[in-house]
């Protein structure tokens, strides 16, 4: 006999986030090393962030927030020896 109370259900703490990327070929996933190469979906420079089609939030300080909640610390270049100023 099989009833609702005897069924085992598995509940996960993470929800699946659907991909916003409809491009062909598809953009890099949020887990890819080249995730920043995904297509820009929304850009709000006045607020300091942009959203990519793979669900990654990019911040103006080069930090990132991944769709699963992981944080990528800002990763600006350390040296300024190669910075060129326009005349």
CA distance 13 to 9: 13
Give every CB contact of residue 64 below 8 A, 6+ residues apart in sequence: 35, 36, 56, 57, 58, 71, 72
pTM: 0.64
Could you read off the pLDDT of 12-56 as tens digits, one per residue?
Answer: 444 444 556 777 788 899 999 999 999 999 999 999 999 999 999
Beta strands in 1-87 (DSSP E): 40-44, 49-52, 57-59, 64-65, 71-72
CA distance 86 to 63: 26
Per-domain residue ranges for the chain?
A: 40-72
């Amino acid at each position: 006999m099989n009833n609702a109370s005897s069924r085992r259900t598995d509940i996960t703490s993470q929800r699946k986030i659907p991909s916003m990327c409809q491009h062909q070929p598809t953009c890099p996933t949020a887990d890819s090393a080249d995730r920043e190469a995904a297509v820009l979906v929304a850009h709000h420079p006045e607020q300091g962030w942009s959203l990519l089609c793979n669900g990654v939030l990019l911040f103006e300080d080069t930090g990132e927030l991944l769709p699963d909640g992981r944080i990528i610390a800002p990763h600006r270049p350390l040296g300024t020896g190669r910075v060129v100023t326009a005349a």
